[in-house]
Each structure stands twice: as structure tokens, then as C-alpha cells.
């Protein structure tokens, strides 16, 4: 399993690792409620057999089965995760299912390195990554021109949806290292994509963004 070389750390990285180290044993159960959202996000990627997809901040690998069902055995899934405890569970999942086309990279999204350019990328509840520009730039640098990108996560709901905002606050307190940007958590990613569409669900507490990678001119 490749590891990234040591380099400058993203703000809040140690906090995020501590959070997910504690959550790893019961993470899968916590995320059950979001499975319909995960399935919708994977569908929005429009994956085809034989394609390569990045699962950014893959956690314990809960998205792997859905992604693999679309890219097939000739496709490739690259899971990027910086928390060793989470990635160990992803590795166990891959081994138990005998998925030979799933590559795991232990690294922050800003430092991950692997071969080839991917056809698509999924950001599933990765607020800290979405608020860190070097992470976004590194992920996008590993995508083909026109690659499909989908992101899903928490956001502040409209003021009238007080119960939804209570849920966002409760969830954010143990899943993100920084609360800034919850009004438009997807805006840094959106600025780097073309044909962006954003929708909301869960009374406005969850966003889904999709767009196409448009490489910047140098």
C-alpha cells in the first residue's frame, strides 16, 4: 500500500486524524443513515466499465462496492485516506472481498501520489479536504480533462430548518476539524470545475455537487 512522502501538513490534519481514529471502530454503523445519499452520489458520477475512479477520503471503503459495481473488474478504484486506523479497515474489506482492482493510498489528499489519470473522483463527506485548496489541486491534477467530479457533504440549512442545522452542528463537531465554510462548503471545488450543478437534500443540510474537470491553463 503506497504512502505519501512526508511534507507540509494541512491545517487541522492532526485533529482530523484523532477524530477518525476514535470513530474507526463504529464508523460504518454511523454512516448507515447516509447510504441513500452515497448511492445517489455514485450514480451521478456516470461511471462506465473499465474506468478509473478516485475515492478521496475513502475512510473504511464503504463506497468501494458501489463504485466497483459500475467500473467492473477491469476498472480501477483508488482510495485515498490519511487515517491509518480507517485505512486498515478499508484494507480488510478489500482483502475479504478479493477486490484486486482496488488500490489504497495512505496519504493526505494534498500529498497522494499514484500512477495514471482517473476518469472520475468522489468526495463523500470530506469537508476538510474541500476547504483545503492544495488538496483539491492535487486531486484534480490526477484527473483526465473532462473527468466527472461529485462531492457530497454537510452544509448549513436555511435558518428556518433549525432541526436540520442542529443535526449539522452535532455531526460537524466530531467529523470536521474546522467549522468555517459550512455555508458553501463546495465553493472552492466549484471554482475549479465546469458545468457545475449543486442540489440539496435533507431539508438543505446535505449538498450534492457535480461538475467536470477543466484543467487550468499554465
pLDDT in tens, 1-37: 544 443 444 445 665 666 655 665 566 667 788 899 9
Residue 30 lies in a domain: yes
Span of 8-17, 55-64, 82-91 with lowest mean pLDDT: 8-17
The separation between the first and the last C-alpha atoms of the chain, rounded to the nearest angstrom, is 32
Residue 80 lies in a domain: yes
Residue 30 burial (CB count, 10 A): 12
The CATH number given to whatever domain includes residue 31 is: 3.40.50.150
The secondary element (H helix, E strand) that includes residue 94 is helix 84-97
CB-CB contact of 91 with 1 (8 Å): yes
Q: Which domain holds residue 60?
A: 13-213
Tell me: the pLDDT tens digits for 99-154? 999 999 999 999 999 888 999 999 999 999 999 999 999 999 999 999 999 999 99
Residue 76 lies in a domain: yes
- Residue 92's φ and ψ, nearest 5 degrees, are -65, -40
Please list the alpha-helical segments (H only) found in 152-210.
Answer: 162-173, 187-190
C-alpha cell at 199: 442540489
Residue 8 lies in a domain: no
Residue 43 lies in a domain: yes
Residue 133 lies in a domain: yes
Residue 2 lies in a domain: no
The secondary element (H helix, E strand) that includes residue 68 is helix 64-71
Find, among 144, 142, 148, the residue nearest to 78 by Cα.
142
pTM of the model: 0.87
Q: How many helices and strands (H and E) does the chain possess?
A: 9, 7
Residue 191 burial (CB count, 10 A): 10
Number of structural domains, the chain? 1
Amino acid at each position: 500500500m503506497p504512502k505519501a512522502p512526508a511534507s507540509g501538513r494541512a491545517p487541522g490534519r492532526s485533529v482530523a486524524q484523532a477524530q477518525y481514529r476514535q470513530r474507526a471502530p463504529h464508523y460504518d454503523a454511523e454512516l448507515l443513515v447516509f447510504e441513500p445519499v452515497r448511492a445517489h452520489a455514485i450514480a451521478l458520477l456516470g461511471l462506465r466499465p473499465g474506468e478509473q475512479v478516485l475515492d478521496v477520503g475513502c475512510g473504511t471503503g464503504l463506497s468501494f462496492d458501489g463504485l466497483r459495481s459500475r467500473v467492473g473488474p477491469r476498472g480501477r478504484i483508488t482510495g485515498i485516506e490519511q487515517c491509518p486506523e480507517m485505512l486498515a479497515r478499508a484494507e480488510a474489506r478489500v482483502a475479504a472481498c478479493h477486490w484486486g482492482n482496488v488500490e489504497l493510498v495512505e496519504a493526505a489528499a494534498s500529498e497522494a501520489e499514484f500512477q495514471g489519470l482517473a476518469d472520475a473522483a468522489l468526495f463523500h463527506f470530506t469537508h476538510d479536504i474541500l476547504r483545503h485548496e492544495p488538496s483539491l489541486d492535487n486531486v484534480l491534477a490526477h484527473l483526465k480533462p473532462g473527468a466527472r467530479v461529485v462531492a457530497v457533504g454537510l452544509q448549513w440549512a436555511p435558518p428556518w430548518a433549525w432541526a436540520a442545522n442542529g443535526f449539522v452542528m452535532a455531526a460537524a463537531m466530531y467529523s470536521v476539524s474546522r467549522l468555517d465554510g459550512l455555508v458553501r462548503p463546495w465553493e472552492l471545488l466549484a471554482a475549479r470545475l465546469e458545468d457545475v450543478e449543486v442540489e440539496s437534500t435533507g431539508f438543505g443540510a446535505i449538498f450534492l455537487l457535480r461538475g467536470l474537470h477543466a484543467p487550468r491553463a499554465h
